[in-house]
Chain A
Amino acid sequence: MLLQLKNIFKWVNSGGQRIFLLKDINLEVEEGEFISVMGPSGSGKSTLLNVIGMLDTFDEGEYNFLDESVHTLKEKHRSNLYKEYIGFVFQSYHLLDDLTVQENLEMPLLYKKFKGSERKAMVADMLDRFNIVGKKDLFPAQLSGGQQQLVGVARALIANPKLILADEPTGNLNSQQSEEIMQLFKKLNKEEGVTIIQVTHSEKNAAYGSRIINLLDGRKV
Chain B
Amino acid sequence: MLSVVAASKNSSIMFKNYLKIAWRNLLKNKGYTLINVGGLALGMAVTLIIGLWIQDELSYNSYFKNKEKIAQIFQSQTFNGETGTGPAIPRPLEKALRDGYSDNFEHLIMCSWTNDHYLKYGEKSISRPGNYMQRVGPELFNLEIIKGERDGLREINSIMLSESTANALFGSEDPIGKTIKVSNEHDMNVSAVYKDIPFNNSFNDTEFIIPWEKYLANNEWIRNAEDQWGNNSFQMFVQIVDNTTMAGVTNKIKDVKKTLNENSAEFNPQIFLFPMEDWHLRGSFENGKQVGGRIKYVWLFGIIGAFVLLLACINFMNLSTARSEKRAKEVGIRKSIGSQKGQLVYQFLSESFLVVLFAFVLALVMVLLSLNGFNELSRKEISFPWANGKFWLVSLGFILFTSLLAGSYPALYLSSFRPVDVLKGSFKAGKYAGLPRKILVVLQFTVSVAFIIGTVIVMQQINYAKNRPVGYDKEGLIQIPTFSQDFEGKYDLMRSEFIGSGAVVEMSTSSSPTTQIWSNRSGFTWEGKPEGFQEDLAWTEVSPEYAKSLNLKIVEGRDFSREYATDSLGVLINETAKKYLGMPDPVGKLLKDDDEEDPGPPLKIIGVVQDMITQSPYEPVKQGIYVYDRFNNGSYYNLRLNPDQSAGQNLAVVERVFKEHFPDIPFEYEFVDSQYGEKFASEERIGTLSGVFTALAILISCLGLFGLTSFVAEQRKKEIGVRKVLGASIFNVWNMLSKDFLKLVIISCFIAVPIAYFIMNGWLQEYPYRVVLKWWIFALAMLGALGVTLLTVSFQAIKAAKANPVKSLRTE
Contacts and interface: CB of A to CB of B under 8 A. Distances in A.
B7 A113 contact: yes
B21 A110 contact: no
Given A53-B336, A98-B28, 7 more contacts: A88-B336, A94-B329, A96-B333, A110-B10, A111-B339, A112-B338, A116-B13
B424 A46 contact: yes
Interface of B: 6-7, 9-10, 13-14, 17, 20-21, 24-25, 28, 329-330, 332-341, 343, 418-420, 423-425
Nearest to A111: B338
Given A76-B340, A110-B17, A111-B338, A94 B332 contact: yes
A160 interface: no
A100 to B, nearest CB: 10
Contact of A111 (B9, B343, B418): B343
Contacts of A94: 329, 332-333, 336, 423
Interface in A49-93: 50, 53, 55-56, 75-76, 79, 82-83, 87-88, 90, 92
A135 B9 CA distance: 28
Contacts of A87: 337
11 contacts: A50-B420, A83-B337, A83-B338, A88-B336, A94-B332, A94-B333, A97-B330, A98-B21, A110-B17, A111-B337, A116-B9
A94 B802 CA distance: 34
Given A46-B424, A110-B17, A98 B336 contact: no
A56 B704 CA distance: 36
A83 B339 CA distance: 8
A107 B337 contact: yes
Contacts of A55: 335-336, 418-420, 423
Most buried by B among A87, A99, A110: A110
Top 4 nearest A-B pairs (CB, nearest first) are: A83-B338, A111-B338, A108-B337, A98-B24
Contacts of A107: 334, 337
B338 A108 contact: yes
Contacts of A79: 335, 338, 340
Nearest to A158: B337
Contacts of B330: 96-98
Contacts, number: 65
Contacts of B336: 53, 55, 88, 94
Contacts of A96: 21, 330, 333-334
Contacts of B425: 92
A128 B264 CA distance: 102
Nearest to A56: B420
A45 interface: no
A115 B332 CA distance: 25
Interface string A32-52: 000000000000001000100
Contacts of B13: 110, 116
A168 B418 CA distance: 20
A87 B415 CA distance: 21
B218 to A, nearest CB: 82
A43 to B, nearest CB: 15
Contacts of B333: 94-96
A87 B334 CA distance: 12
Nearest to B340: A79
Contacts of A108: 337-338
A97 B329 CA distance: 10
Nearest to A95: B333
A107 B25 CA distance: 17
Interface string A93-129: 0111111000100011011110110000000000000
Nearest to A112: B338
A112 B343 CA distance: 12
Given A94-B329, A96-B330, A88 B337 contact: yes
Interface of A: 46, 50, 53, 55-56, 75-76, 79, 82-83, 87-88, 90, 92, 94-99, 103, 107-108, 110-113, 115-116, 155
B28 A155 contact: no
Contacts of B335: 55, 79
Given A56-B420, A90-B423, A94-B333, A115 B6 contact: yes
A97 B330 CA distance: 8
A96 B330 CA distance: 6
A96 B17 CA distance: 13
A153 to B, nearest CB: 13
Nearest to B28: A98
A111 B330 CA distance: 14
Contacts of A82: 338
B423 A99 contact: no
A20 B296 CA distance: 65
Most buried by A among B25, B333, B339, B420: B333
Contacts of B338: 79, 82-83, 108, 111-112
B119 to A, nearest CB: 72
Most buried by B among A76, A92, A97: A97
B21 to A, nearest CB: 5
B28 A110 contact: no
B593 to A, nearest CB: 91
B334 to A, nearest CB: 7
B14 A110 contact: yes
A123 B420 CA distance: 27
Contacts of B9: 116
A50 B335 CA distance: 13
A94 B331 CA distance: 11
A96 B420 CA distance: 16
Nearest to A107: B337
A163 B120 CA distance: 99
Contacts of A46: 424
A109 to B, nearest CB: 9
B10 A113 contact: yes
A169 to B, nearest CB: 14
Contacts of A95: 333
Nearest to B329: A94
Contacts of B423: 55, 90, 94
Nearest to B21: A98
A70 B14 CA distance: 28
Contacts of B25: 98
A94 B9 CA distance: 28
A94 B336 CA distance: 10
A20 B148 CA distance: 99
A76 B343 CA distance: 12
B391 to A, nearest CB: 36
A97 B327 CA distance: 10
Most buried by B among A46, A53, A94: A94
A87 B333 CA distance: 11
Contacts of A56: 420
A204 B391 CA distance: 69
Most buried by A among B9, B20, B335, B336: B336
A4 B63 CA distance: 79
B30 to A, nearest CB: 14
B589 to A, nearest CB: 92
A115 B336 CA distance: 21
B6 A99 contact: no
A165 to B, nearest CB: 9
A116 B425 CA distance: 34
B7 to A, nearest CB: 7
A39 to B, nearest CB: 17
A82 B339 CA distance: 11
A50 B418 CA distance: 12
A108 B10 CA distance: 13
A155 B9 CA distance: 23
A79 B28 CA distance: 31
A119 to B, nearest CB: 9
B169 to A, nearest CB: 70
A25 B424 CA distance: 22
A98 B343 CA distance: 18
Contacts of B7: 113
A132 B233 CA distance: 94
